[in-house]
Amino acid sequence: MNKDPFGPEYVIRVCDPQIGMTGFLVIDNTAVGVGKGGIRMTSGVTEEEMLRLARTMTWKNALAGIPFGGAKAGIVWNPSGSIKGSPKKLNEIKKRFVQSFARAISHLTPCAYIAGPDVQTGEREMEWFVGATGNKKSATGKPKKLGGLPHELGSTGFGVSRAAKVAAEIYGLDIKKARISIEGFGNVGMFVFKYLYEAGTTIIAVSDRGGTAFNASGLDYGKVTNAKTQHGTVTAYPDAHRLPYDSIFGLESDILITAAVTDVISEKNRHSIRTKIIVEGSNIPMKEDIERELWKRGIMIVPDFVANAGGVISSYAEYAGLSSEKMFALVDERICKMSKKVLTMSALRNRNPRDIALILAREKVEQAMKKRRATFIGKGAMI
């Protein structure tokens, strides 16, 4: 594990041998505020992944200007492998996993960590989480009945769609004439598609685990949703070419939006990327060296912790007791402001957008760390 002046502050591994649950919590930096980051449940969850994601959350929250530090949690969840059973049984097991994990870290919530939805977790899992901790403040993204602003409102996807619009404008593209591909059709990708489609854009391709649905004339949001709901995959879309999942990275487009898991753009497919703009709707969709290489090839890239901050901005809105209307207005204002600033400075300085965004975020975290140290020293002097 690599440690630097920013963190991590806590790295916790949780095991419950009675039910076979393994989970991780990384609280990276709390200088700006309590550690905030979602809980993802996938078969490949690792401590290293949580370390990377927690650091991304540190930068994301600071850059968004909200009083949260960076954190991330993960629970190993493999319903198609070692964990099997009927849908009802799997639901019961998942609840036991979430609540076992919640109880194990409850001494850190919400004083040092606040949970939230992520991959394969949503308002239902957050309800389970707060039920186990006994504190509604221990998680955001809860059901409305618990005072929450559910992740299912689509705040992350809405923010990504706004980042795409800003990027297109700066690049000189008319977003309504742009050809867009969306990798992933989960909670983020579905809402990115929805908001861009409603704005009159043309989405030519969308992918999920079942493959890629491609239609050069554009895909209809309602038909894509029906295909996913009725058949479990977007590739059941009528009148669309059914392609392998990885094909979406090689399709020629104006904007490619990643909206699934980490490291989807890799050594294997980086050379096949044919797009003008990449908007990172997912966290860490590629390693930094690959991202830098694509930028040098002339591809404009909106970094993950700029583009997908809508979810955590929504979390702050929930924590502050704001309405959904005010939340969406806040997401719109913050995402557009950040995207424009980062991409404009990138063009002026001829530097990778991630480098620019990191400089801005680090400045805010360093200022908070200096203030915290000064406060500690002041208290020491008083004693």
Compute the distance between CA of residue 352 and CA of residue 343 in angstroms, rounded to an integer. 9
Tell me how many degrees the CA angle 260-130-111 measures, rounded to the nearest 5. 95
Orientation angle between helical segments 155-171 and 310-319, nearest 10 degrees: 130
CB burial class (10 A; 0-12, 13-18, 19+) of residue 88? Answer: exposed
Q: State the amino acid at position 304 in one-letter form.
A: D
Per-residue exposure over 218-235, b if at least 16 CB sit within 10 Å of its own CB, e if not: ebbbebbbebbeeeebbb
Tell me how many degrees the CA angle 155-159-248 measures, rounded to the nearest 5. 105
- For the question of residue 72 being annotated catalytic, the response is yes
In this structure, are residues 283 and 309 in contact, taking their beta carbons and an 8 Å threshold?
no
Out of 36, 72, 194, 228, the active site residue is 72
Compute the distance between CA of residue 331 and CA of residue 312 in angstroms, rounded to an integer. 9
The answer to whether the Cα torsion of 135, 54, 30, 148 is positive or negative is: negative
In this structure, are strands 69-76 and 113-114 parallel, antiparallel, or unpaired?
unpaired
Compute the distance between CA of residue 167 and CA of residue 317 in angstroms, rounded to an integer. 25
Compute the distance between CA of residue 22 and CA of residue 215 in angstroms, rounded to an integer. 42
Residues in the chain: 383
Q: Kindly state the greatest CA–CA separation across the chain.
A: 74
Catalytic residues: 72
